């Protein structure tokens, strides 16, 4: 007699037929194929194009889902498929972001870490998640409540006061269908993430679906016999999985089939990494790295901020700080570009929810993040550029509780000021920073600014530049100016390795 715990192995098309119109579908993974159940997304898009079903879905995804091209949610970019989309990050699927901007369905953006915690809340039968994350940003109902367009009117974030303190309450969202991806499953659905870049939030998602009376469909590379998996490698027990689909060709990411140094199964030697060539971006990363201290636990964001780790390695003190990224990696070297979300040579890889619990609990000493706009008050926008919806990912989760925040970017972009009178959307709140006593710097290729009680203040200027001639014409407002104004170290702008005196807090004897 077959075991009652054996799971059906379906084609992607058969699995797509399990999803009915009007259901709530949550998608695991992140970015450019990191544990994205790609075959399911393809099959759902194909089914809609051929049969007009499913329609009116509510889709939830904490991170971006796609490669800014044809993958991920791009394959499902049909407005009739949705009544509502709740996304943490949108720009990985430009067509979905455009449809949201065009009012084709209800659209929200919530912090990625909050969405992951909502999976935990649904899994536990909790009414929701109470937190300070999002206060005074566009997620706060006193601003936009996370709503992204005019057809989105329902308030899904509540402002509450408890013991004299303000919080945001995010009601839990029941999950009808969870779509996740792992490396290997046995025939009873026990799922290993060993060959993936991280375990992600798959367990919380699958538990949320089970608690909601829903189902979980897992995409894997191969299926093995029961008892074949080391139980310590099982990250989603089979009791939470309802069906499997098999795709032997799916990789760790869209571009990488398997890289053991991203999975913690090997170490990549330093000599295998390309040198950090000089550019204005490197100058920014160098100046930002001067804000590090021995023993600091830090977070680095996507893009220019990851150069801070490159500088620390180049200068010989990377072993004296501990980098983390929101996807769950602690230690190691973050992968670049669309592969961000993975890390080489990590010391530990935890579930996404555990990492965000750490961030929400103010565990980060200093975070290095990018910016699109900064205004006179010191607010930062990364989530909406003109009419384009970008989203925040873990930006709010990280920046709101870090003890020190260093924003990294160019002074202007394509001739347009990035320092503006008022940001288009508040992704980082200067008011919240003042309330928390955060130290906040804004490091650019031409100057360094600091958040003060009176607003943004210009503290340092690059050598050879003049404030009136070179800096102020590139700003959308006139900031406060420190007297006397400091000059950034000229060595930051040279190709040679920096002198050790710029990092005097560190023991450089191992250089």
- Looking at residue 277, the DSSP 8-state letter turns out to be -
Among 144, 326, 339, 351, which one carries the catalytic annotation? 326
Q: Could you tell me the strand order of the sheet in which 184-186 lies?
A: 222-224, 184-186, 191-192, 234-236
The pLDDT value given to residue 444: 97
- Phi and psi for 500 in degrees, rounded to 5? -60, -25
The pLDDT value given to residue 354: 96
Look up 265 and say whether it is catalytic: no
Q: Are 66 and 74 in contact (CB under 8 A)?
A: yes
pTM for the model stands at 0.96
Rounded Cα gap, residues 373 and 425, in angstroms: 9
**Planar angle of CA 24, 147, 375, nearest 5 degrees:** 140
For domain 9-149+156-246, the question of CATH label 3.40.1080.10 is answered with yes
User: Is 265-503 in the same CATH topology as 9-149+156-246?
Assistant: yes
Per domain, the residue ranges of the chain are 9-149+156-246, 265-503
Q: What is the DSSP string of 371-435?
A: -SEEETT--EE-SEETTEE-B-TTHHHHHTT-SEEEEE--SEETTEESEESS-SS-SB-HHHHHH
Q: Are 383 and 146 in contact (CB under 8 A)?
A: no
Mean pLDDT of each 10-residue bin along the chain, 511 residues long: 88 97 97 93 97 97 94 96 97 96 98 98 98 98 97 97 96 98 97 94 98 98 95 96 96 94 94 94 97 96 91 95 95 91 95 96 96 97 93 97 97 88 97 96 97 97 96 95 96 96 85 49
In the chain, the N- to C-terminal Cα span, in Å, equals: 65
Q: Are 248 and 220 in contact (CB under 8 A)?
A: no
CATH node for 265-503: 3.40.1080.10
- Of 363, 431, 374, 376, residue with least CA distance to 137: 431
Rounded Cα gap, residues 393 and 383, in angstroms: 9
The pLDDT value given to residue 1: 62
The pLDDT value given to residue 510: 58
- Phi and psi for 482 in degrees, rounded to 5? -65, 140
Burial class (CB in 10 A: 0-12, 13-18, 19+), 403: middle
Distances in Å between the Cα of 2 and the Cα atoms of 6, 8, 184, 227 are: 7, 12, 21, 15
The pLDDT value given to residue 4: 86
User: Within 10 Å of residue 53's Cβ, how many Cβ atoms?
Assistant: 16
**Within 220-325, where are the H helices?**
260-263, 280-289, 307-315
């Amino acid at each position: 007699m077959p075991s009652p715990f054996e799971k059906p192995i379906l084609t992607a098309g058969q699995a797509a037929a399990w999803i009915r119109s009007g259901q709530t579908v949550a998608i695991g993974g992140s970015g450019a194929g990191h544990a994205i159940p790609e075959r399911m997304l393809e099959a759902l898009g194909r089914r809609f194009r051929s049969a007009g079903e499913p329609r009116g879905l509510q889709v939830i995804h904490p991170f971006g889902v796609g490669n800014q091209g044809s993958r991920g949610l791009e394959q499902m970019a049909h407005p009739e498929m949705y009544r509502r989309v709740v996304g943490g990050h949108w720009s990985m699927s430009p067509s979905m972001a455009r449809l949201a901007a065009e009012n084709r369905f209800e659209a929200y953006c919530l912090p990625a870490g909050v969405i992951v915690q909502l999976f935990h809340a649904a899994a536990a039968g909790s009414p929701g998640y109470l937190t300070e994350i999002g206060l005074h940003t566009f997620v706060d109902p006193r601003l936009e409540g996370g709503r992204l367009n005019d057809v989105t009117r329902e308030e899904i974030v509540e402002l509450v006061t408890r013991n004299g303190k303000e919080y945001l309450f995010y009601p839990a969202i029941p999950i009808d269908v969870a779509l996740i991806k792992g490396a290997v499953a046995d025939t009873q659905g026990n799922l290993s993430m060993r060959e993936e870049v991280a375990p992600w939030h798959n367990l919380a998602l699958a538990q949320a679906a089970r608690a909601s009376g829903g189902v979980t469909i897992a995409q894997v590379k191969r299926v093995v016999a029961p008892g074949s998996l080391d139980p310590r490698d099982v990250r989603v027990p089979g009791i939470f999985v309802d069906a499997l689909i098999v795709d032997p060709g799916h990789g760790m990411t869209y571009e990488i089939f398997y890289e053991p140094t991203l999975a913690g199964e090997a170490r990549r030697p330093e000599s295998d990494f390309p040198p950090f060539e000089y550019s204005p971006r490197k100058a920014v990363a160098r100046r930002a790295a001067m804000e590090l201290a021995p023993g600091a636990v830090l977070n680095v964001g996507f893009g220019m901020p990851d150069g801070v780790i490159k500088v620390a390695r180049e200068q010989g003190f990377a072993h004296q700080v501990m980098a983390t990224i929101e996807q769950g990696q602690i230690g190691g070297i973050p992968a670049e570009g669309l592969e961000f979300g993975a890390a080489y040579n990590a010391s530990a890889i935890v579930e996404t929810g555990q990492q965000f619990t750490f961030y929400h609990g103010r565990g980060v000493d200093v975070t290095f993040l990018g910016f699109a706009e900064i205004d006179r008050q010191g607010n930062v926008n990364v989530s909406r550029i003109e009419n384009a919806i970008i989203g925040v990912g873990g930006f709010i989760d990280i920046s709101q509780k870090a003890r020190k925040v260093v924003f990294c970017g160019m002074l202007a972009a394509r001739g347009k000021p990035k320092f503006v009178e008022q940001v288009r959307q508040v992704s980082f709140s200067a008011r919240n920073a003042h309330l928390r006593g955060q130290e906040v710097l804004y490091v650019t290729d031409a100057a360094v600014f600091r958040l003060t009680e009176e607003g943004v203040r210009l503290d340092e200027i690059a050598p050879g530049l003049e404030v009136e001639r070179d800096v102020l014409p590139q700003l959308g407002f006139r900031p406060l100016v420190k007297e006397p104004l400091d000059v950034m170290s000229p060595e930051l702008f040279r190709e040679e390795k920096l002198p050790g005196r710029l990092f005097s807090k560190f023991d450089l004897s191992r250089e």
